[in-house]
Structure 1
Amino acid sequence: MKLLSKYTLFKFMPGLKNLFEYQRDWLGPDIKAGLSVSAVALPIAIAYAELTGVSPIVGLYACILPMIAYALFGSSRQLIIGPDAATCAIIAAVVAPLALSNPQVYLQLVIIMTFMTGIWCLIASKLHLGALADLLSRPILTGLLNGVAITIIIGQLNKVLGYTSNSNQLIEILYNLPVEIQTIHWPSFISSALTLALLILFRRFFSKLPAPLIVMVIMTFLAAFLAEQFNIDMIGEVRKSSSLPDFSNFPPGLLRELLVPSLNLALVSFVSLMLTARSFATKNRYEIDANAEFRALGIANILSAISQGFAVSGASSRTAVNDNVGGKTQLVSIIAAAVIAFVLFFMTAPLKYIPISSLGVVLIYATWSLIDFKNIRKLRKRDKAAFRLAIFTVVMVLTVGVIAGIGLAVLVGLMQFLRIIFRPTESLLGADEEGRIHSLSSNKEVKPIENTIIYRFNSPLTYFNIAYFKRRINQLVENSDGLESTEIKWVIIDAVSALTHSDVSVIAGLKELKKELNIKGIQILFAGRKTNLTQWLRVKETNKDWLLFNDLYLAVRYVQSITQIDEENQIENSDSNSTINTQETIRNKVEIDKNAPIISLSHYNALKPI
């Protein structure tokens, strides 16, 4: 009983299992990695809080409990969870129009949206929907991250350059930029330039040091003495709160407005987390549990909301720091959370001197890694449809916003998929001189079987493509696709690729097709899924009306055996009953003699492939 309860606990909390099996040799690397992660996470959390539109302290709240939660419930040993550029951009895009410039309502909306995101994740985990990680395809996610990165960078220009902007949307920002940039605040610009120069300097010559933290410490120290003199904006007093905001006056109607966006946020957060977790799990040779990751993300977001934080996801930059330093287990997250908690409780006073211009530069610096047009260019060579989808996603995110852009991109991606299902690729098959079946192509060694079409439909047959399937078979039989003067007597269907499940419309369509071909004196055979087709078509053992075979080779042997006997005996107009008996005898023989070679094909006429 104890073993069962322990097994159940470890299955529910994979991270706890690693901590129970902790080895002493891992402690040193984990402490070093924990300190390094916290050094990078601190300034980025504050910067992402600014991006979300909330107090910097909220960014720290969004780190502590979520990191501890993931350390216990997550299955990845390297993944670091925390504020993420994409999630912050989505929250800001959704909440800003609803809050109507009311800071109290704004924070309430952020917390509620985060809580709802966590609930969606827990529901998905309960329903075992870890496969949703594949819903946002790589082209969509690549386009999304590029679009979000460009939006963030342009949105930070007014902070970096110190001018006032009343525009919130990208198009308006760009439209008003030529006029607004004329009011540039030069001390803020110099502060930004110095911040950027220091970041580049540390990255080039001291790459192992936490550059964002060191640079922010330097700029905060300088701002404490010079900011007021040069009128440089600082983030101001950072107030800690020990209780949730008062929700008694919260308009309940706004919950409807957050329902779908929070679902979108849960999906984007999970997909982003899974991409990062999978890549590092593959690198370090272990497996992760997608449903456990959904549960861990849900619990982390709920705890973030309870602690007045905002939505979190997998943080690729901090995860990379963890892996590079040599972190071994989820203890890294606990150590990093402890360091951030120490800063929150004992070192918040200096935070008020952080210059907003420097914070904007750090945010741009952290976001720059999301821009990846190189992979988009690669898609152009590998898959033009994926390339167009990625470009479409970028454009939509930039023009209509993050939420609407994601929705449109997913819709277009589904339409591309449906187009493949509606009108899939297809191929005709033949055999070489050694009797091996291949697709017909320009390779002259592969030739069609005489009087026979072997057809492969590269998609599952469903109610919305069965009509197209029937039309294609009839077109081939009638020589409308360049099949020349070959007299077709047999049509062999590769059932493995086409008939994957029972569908009433499909079964009815196959019966109609069989009747249409029989009228033309053509027999239709199905190769593969014999057991399934016997059940779906309700074929009884005594009913030989349906010709079902275990694979293509048996179907071809059956056709060629009948052809050989017809040629040898010169049967032209035999009695129908004797023909049925002859076919039945040959079929039984063919099914037994599975190793019989396919007869020579050297004298067969060539068929042109589709």
Structure 2
Amino acid sequence: MSRFTPVFLAGYRREWLRRDIVAGVVVWSVVVPQAVAYGQIAGLPPEAGLMAAPGALVGYALLGTSRTLIVSATTATSALSAAAVGPLADGDPVRYAALSAALALLAGVILVAGGLLGLGAISDFVSKPVMTGFLFGLGLVVMEAQLDALTGDNATTVVFGLVCIAVLLAFKFLRPGWPAMSLVVAGAILVSWALGLSDHGVAVVGEVPRALPDPTWPDVHGDDLVALLPMAFGVLILSTEAVGVSRALAAQHHYEVDTSRDLAAMGASNLLAGLSSGFVQSGGASQTAAAENAGGRTQLTALIAAALILLTGAFLGPLFTDLPQTALAAIVIVAVSSFLNVRELRRIARLRRTAIVLAVIAGVSVVGLGVLEGLIVTAALSLAIVVKRISRPRVTVADGVVTPHSPLFYANAHVVREVVRSQPAPVTLDLQHSFDLDVETVDMLADLDVELINVHPRAAAMLSRRGCSDLVRRT
């Protein structure tokens, strides 16, 4: 099939249709309240989430390779968007919305480019302890930002918000498969309308205009795009969570995913969301779990959900008028509570002390320095771990044969050189793990008194061009 043909169309079975329709309705019931609530995290009105969601769902459904990954608003990317846009908007809501859409477009371009360049494996370079620490810190930051909306300025608001949190937690632990967010939103709207909570000082969402995607290019300047660029690359880093979810599902159901194509597909989702006056989107674990638990078999689930969200934005916006802001804050707080993964931090601490130190540094950097700075620290820590590992390869010596257990390249060649020089000449060097050689490594080998074995053809060609093919043992 063509590279651009939707994967789910290949071998689609009629008996899957009913399951996909049911799962699409379930995903709709989950994504709608999340779009409204996470729009609040991003600092945008409810309609922004409803406008962004259809394009995000469709973009990945048509290009992605996971059968059930759902791409829509997520807590992490929404918080990232707010952190990037807030300082630039200077309190202007129109400019804030334009910058949010611009960030989605910029992230989309970077994700598409990453996919085309085959950077899907970037998720393998982000340390799990570091990302766990980052998300823990991000969860605390998001919770703190929701406290004003949760408590308001009167007791009624506080009580209502705490009741919503209690109900959400009860669903989470007692009925985890139920659409808790949708039920809480519906219940909160009903109670608010029946009791007239807005007359008792409880802030409500208010009038929600028609929320249909309105394709338009955000009115921003080149300087704005430059300022947003670091956060756009941050979305690439956060996409590792979505890649991990899609890989786990593929392993569970015994099929393969193309992570690079998935990056490009998430880029398409962001491009469509940005052009729809939305904000940054990514693959969400809770939305995807809803599709899985409902029996969804293909990305037709996402397309059905997208169609239902379009109908919601067109006709059901007024239903959100009496929705208390404290209920949205409760939804956000419970959603990000999953980031406070103390159990995982304890497990990491038991396995390796240095890993928990890195996790703590990442978390503290987010809380103390800010989301952008914390993300930079997270990326730097992950990069430092990778560099340390590959620049200090394990080298064994047995029966006069020196074997580096990682590919040789310029950053670790000096380690192998010192081991070889510490051995009595002549030395045999086993290059079985080095499929290619760079200039610095070939120069290092040419200066040593070694005999090379298990040399791969590309490495042998490089040695020949350097004029030292005589080092290779002839068999």
* Deviations 1:347-377, CA, capped at 9 Å, x for gaps: 1112121111111001111222233232233
**C-alpha distance in 2, partners of 1:401/1:206?**
35
1:440-471 deviation per Cα after TM superposition (whole angstroms, max 9, x unaligned): xxxxxxxxx4xxx3323344333344444333
After the TM superposition, which parts of structure 1 deviate over 6 Å for at least 4 consecutive aligned residues? none
Match of 2:428 among 478, 482, 492: 492
Contact 1:33/1:332 (8 A) holds in 2: yes
Deviations 1:521-571 (A, max 9, x none): xxx433321756654444999x9964626xxxxxxxxxxxxxxxxxxxxxx
Instruction: Indicate yes or no: 2:15 matched with 1:25.
Output: yes
Partner of 1:276 in structure 2?
Answer: 245
1:262 is aligned, of 232, 257, 281, to: 232
Q: 2:333 aligned with 1:364, yes or no?
A: yes
Deviation at 1:425, TM superposition (A): 3.0
Please tell me the residue identity of whatever aligns with 1:336: A
Q: Is this contact kept in 1: 2:436–2:459, CA < 8 A?
A: no
**SS of structure 2 residue aligned to 1:456:** strand
After TM superposition, the structure 1 = structure 2 runs for residues 521-532 of structure 1, keeping only pairs within 5 Å, are 524-529=450-455
Q: Give the structure 2 partner of residue 506 of structure 1.
A: 441
For the Cα contact (< 8 Å) 1:44–1:366, is it kept in 2?
no
Of the structure 1 ranges 254-263 and 134-143, higher mean CA displacement relative to structure 2 is found in 134-143
Q: 2:416 is matched with which residue: 454, 461, 469?
A: 469
- Provide the residue aligned with 1:599 in structure 2: none
Question: CA 1:544–1:35 in structure 2 vs 1: closer, same or farther (change >3 Å)?
Answer: closer
Note the 1:181-260 alignment, pairs <5 A: 185-224=154-193, 225-240=195-210, 243=214, 250-260=220-230
Amino acid paired to 2:404:
F
Alpha-carbon spacing, 1:505–1:214, altered in 2? closer, same or farther (3 Å): closer
Could you tell me whether the CA contact under 8 Å between 2:211 and 2:313 is conserved in 1? no
Query: Residue 428 of structure 1 aligns to a residue in which SS?
Result: strand
What is aligned with 1:327? 296
- Selected match of 2:6 from 14, 18, 21: 14
How far apart are residue 263 of structure 1 and its match? 2.4
Aligned position for 2:26 = 36
Which residue in 1 is equivalent to 2:111?
121
CA contact (8 A) 1:12 1:292 kept: no
Aligned-partner Cα distance in 1 for 2:295–2:134: 30
- One-letter amino acid of the counterpart of residue 548, structure 1: R
Q: Does 1:142 align with 2:126?
A: no
C-alpha distance in 1, partners of 2:14/2:171?
33
Measure, in 2, the Cα distance between the counterparts of 1:489 and 1:251. Answer: 65
Q: How far 1:234 moved relative to its partner?
A: 0.9
- Equivalents in 2 of 1:339, 1:545: separation in Å? 69
Distance (Å, rounded) in 2 between the aligned partners of 1:83 and 1:215: 19
Matched letter for residue 273 of structure 2: S
Q: State the AA in 1 paired with 2:144.
A: I
**8 Å Cα contact 2:135-2:340 kept in structure 1:** yes
Identity %: 27
Q: Say whether the 8 Å CA contact 2:177–2:293 is kept in structure 1.
A: no
Cα distance in 2, alignment partners of residues 335 and 208 from structure 1: 20
Sort the Cα spacing of 1:240 and 1:246 in 2 relative to 1 into closer, same or farther, 3 A: farther
| Residues 432, 456 of structure 2: 8 Å contact kept | no
CA deviation map 1:263-320 (0-9, x unaligned): 2223423x22211111111111211122321222122111111221111111110111
CA distance in 1, matches of 2:466, 2:443: 17
One-letter code aligned to 1:14: P
Residue 257 (structure 1) shift: 0.7
Q: TM-score normalized by structure 1? A: 0.72
Q: How does 1:448-459 map onto structure 2 within 5 Å?
A: 449=399, 453-459=400-406
Question: Contact 2:39–2:49 (CA<8 Å) still a contact in 1?
Answer: yes
Letter paired with 1:265:
V
For structure 2, the residue ranges without an aligned partner over 5 or more in a row are none
1:375 aligns with 2:341: no
Counterparts of 1:393 and 1:342, CA distance in 2: 41
Please provide the CA RMSD for this pair. Answer: 2.7
Structure 2 CA distance for partners of 1:247 and 1:65, relative to 1, 3 Å: closer
Structure scoring higher RCO (CA < 8 A, sep ≥ 6) equals 2
Q: Which amino acid aligns with 1:509?
A: M
Of structures 1 and 2, the larger Rg is shown by 1
C-alpha distance in structure 2 between counterparts of 1:530 and 1:156, whole Å? 58
What secondary structure, in the 3-state scheme, does the structure 1 residue paired with 2:448 have? helix
Conserved? CA contact 1:426–1:456, under 8 Å: yes
Mapped partners of 1:383, 1:113: distance in 2: 37
Matches within 5 A, 1:376-415: 376-415=345-384
Q: How many Å apart are 1:388 and its aligned residue? A: 3.1
Q: Deviations over 1:210-268 (max 9, x none)?
A: 121112111112222331332011111112366467856x4442121112321222342
Seen in structure 2, the aligned counterparts of structure 1 residues 23 and 468 have a Cα distance that, compared at 3 Å, is closer
Q: Which residue identity is paired with 2:389?
A: I
TM-score, length basis structure 2:
0.91
3-state SS of 2:15 partner: helix
CA apart distance, 1:92: 0.3
> Cα gap change, 1:236/1:492 in structure 2, threshold over 3 Å: closer, same or farther?
same
Deviations, residues 136-176 of structure 1 (Å, cap 9, x unaligned) = 2323332232222222122212221225xxxxxxxxxxxxx
Unaligned runs of 5+ in 1: 1-6, 164-184, 430-448, 478-487, 515-523, 550-590, 592-610
Q: Distance in 1 between matches of 2:112 and 2:105?
A: 11
SS of equivalent residue, structure 1 residue 548 = coil
Q: Equivalent of 1:156, from 137, 146, 149?
A: 146
Please tell me whether the aligned partners of residues 463 and 469 of structure 2 are also in contact (alpha carbons under 8 angstroms): no
Distance across 1 between alignment mates of 2:325 and 2:466 = 78
User: In 2, are the aligned partners of 1:463 and 1:505 still within 8 Å (CA)?
Assistant: yes
Secondary structure of 1:253's counterpart equals: helix
1:122·1:298 contact (CA, 8 Å) conserved in 2? yes
Query: Does the aligned pair in 2 maintain the 1:427–1:455 contact within 8 Å?
Result: yes
d(CA) in 2 for partners of 1:214, 1:122: 36
For the 8 Å contact 1:13–1:74, the answer to whether it is kept is no
Cα–Cα, structure 1 residues 428 and 359, in superposed 2: closer, same or farther, change >3 Å?
A: same
| Larger displacement relative to structure 2 (253-262 or 106-115) | 253-262
Of 257, 267, 271, the residue aligned with 1:288 is 257
Specify the SS of the correspondent of 1:493.
Answer: strand
Q: Deviations over 1:23-48 (max 9, x none)?
A: 22222222221121111211111110
